[in-house]
């Protein structure tokens, strides 16, 4: 990478966007633990860039609740309360329902084949115990449906919410049996394949509401917060 505003290594996308994706990936895979500080200067040196795109990426992550930024103390990875995550899933339930309703009439056979492959990917990775890969495939599954809706406003809403859910579900629910939740993707896919708009919408809504219930039932000590958006019991579990 260089200090320019764009990166030739990523098809010319904004460098801050590249950094944001890198940080999200590192948080999901435990490189940065909840409560851990992300040092701008250190990351800039590692990536061979200025601190400006690092700072911009961190601001974007703070805007969606993945990090907190404190004056003179920098950015730290945070964990929201269980209720906050459940609330995101409730909003996602309506966003995903609308996406599925619109996509039912527009989705291509290529997209349907990709969705089927992603369901199998989720099940395979779940059997392997690779929870980050499960949530990565899950995010891509729902993203394809959002894109198939051909509604840019809806896509933007999805893109704002999806990283939050994926990041913190990956960190906090790897020990929970989510096999039944994963299988719900088959119901969504079947409705889309049959061009059943109402059925697809209902299946997508139900899926996200079930995720919300799962978070409320299994999130360790929901609501416990040390003032920085970090639930201590979760920190202990992640650090083991």
Residue 39 tokens, joined: 């040092």
Chain-centroid distance of CA 151 in Å reads 20
For residue 110, being part of any structural domain is answered with: yes
Residues 64 and 103 in one domain: no
225/99 Cα distance (integer angstroms):
34
Residues 220, 38, 68, 170, Cα dihedral to 10°: -30
For residue 224, being part of any structural domain is answered with: no
Which of 52, 78, 104 is where one domain is finished? 78
pTM, entire model:
0.75
For residue 173, being part of any structural domain is answered with: yes
Residues 100 and 173 in one domain: yes
For residue 230, being part of any structural domain is answered with: no
Number of domains in the chain: 2
Residues 127 and 53 in one domain: no
The pLDDT of residue 199: 98
Residues 191 and 163 in one domain: yes
Whether 182 contacts 123, CB under 8 Å = yes
The pLDDT of residue 27: 84
The pLDDT of residue 171: 65
Residues 125, 240, 26, 129, Cα dihedral to 10°: 0
For residue 143, being part of any structural domain is answered with: yes
Residues 212 and 99 in one domain: yes
For residue 233, being part of any structural domain is answered with: no
Which of 78, 106, 138 is where one domain is finished? 78
Which of 40, 62, 78 is where one domain is finished? 78
Residues 41 and 139 in one domain: no
Residue with tokens 């088959």: 186
Tens digits of pLDDT across the chain (240 residues): 444 344 434 444 578 889 988 998 888 777 888 889 999 999 999 999 999 999 999 999 998 888 999 888 889 998 777 778 778 888 999 999 999 999 999 999 999 999 999 999 999 999 999 988 998 999 999 999 999 999 999 999 998 888 877 776 776 666 788 999 999 999 999 999 999 999 999 999 999 999 888 877 776 554 444 444 443 333 222 222
The pLDDT of residue 172: 63
The pLDDT of residue 173: 65
CATH number, residue 111: 1.20.120.530
Residues 120 and 199 in one domain: yes
3-state SS, one letter per residue, for the chain = CCCCCECHHHCCCEHHHHHHHHHHHHHHCCCCCCCCEECHHHHHHHHCCCHHHHHHHHHHHHHCCCEEEECCCEEEECCCCHHHHHHHHHHHHHHHHHHHHHHCCCCCHHHHHHHHHHHHHHHHHHHHCCHHHHHHHHHHHHHHHHHHCCCHHHHHHHHHHHHHHHHHHHHHCCCCCCHHHHHHHHHHHHHHHCCCHHHHHHHHHHHHHHHHHHHHHHCCCCCCCCCCCCCHHHHHHHHC
The pLDDT of residue 131: 87
For residue 229, being part of any structural domain is answered with: no
The pLDDT of residue 80: 75
For residue 240, being part of any structural domain is answered with: no
Residues 192 and 152 in one domain: yes
For 97, the domain range is: 82-218
Residues 211 and 99 in one domain: yes
Residues 33 and 115 in one domain: no
CATH number, residue 55: 1.10.10.10
Residues 6 or more apart whose Cβ sits within 8 Å of residue 137: 118, 121, 122, 125
Residues 42 and 104 in one domain: no
Neighbour-count burial for 95-111, b at 16+ CB within 10 Å, e otherwise = bbbbbbbbbbeebeeeb
The pLDDT of residue 176: 81
Residues 100 and 123 in one domain: yes
The pLDDT of residue 13: 53
């Amino acid at each position: 990478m260089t200090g320019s505003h764009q990166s030739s290594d990523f098809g010319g996308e904004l460098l801050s966007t590249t950094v944001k994706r890198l940080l999200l990936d590192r948080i999901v895979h435990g490189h940065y633990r909840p409560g851990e500080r992300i040092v701008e200067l250190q990351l800039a040196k590692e990536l061979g860039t200025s601190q400006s795109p690092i700072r911009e990426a961190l601001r974007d992550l703070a805007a969606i609740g993945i990090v907190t930024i404190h004056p003179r103390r920098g950015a730290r990875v945070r964990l929201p309360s269980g209720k906050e995550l459940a609330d995101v899933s409730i909003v996602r339930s309506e966003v995903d329902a609308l996406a599925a309703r619109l996509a039912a009439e527009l989705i291509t056979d290529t997209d349907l084949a990709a969705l089927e492959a992603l369901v199998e990917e989720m099940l395979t990775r779940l059997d392997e115990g690779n929870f980050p890969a499960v949530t990565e495939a899950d995010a891509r599954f729902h993203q394809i449906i959002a894109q198939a809706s051909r509604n840019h406003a809806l896509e933007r809403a999805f893109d704002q919410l999806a990283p939050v859910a994926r990041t913190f579900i990956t960190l906090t629910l790897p020990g929970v049996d989510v096999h039944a939740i994963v299988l719900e993707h088959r119901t969504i896919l079947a409705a889309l394949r049959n061009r059943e708009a109402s059925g697809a919408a209902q299946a997508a809504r139900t899926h996200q509401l079930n995720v919300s219930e799962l978070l409320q039932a299994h999130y360790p000590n929901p609501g416990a917060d040390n003032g920085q958006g970090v639930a201590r019991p979760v920190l202990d579990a992640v650090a083991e």
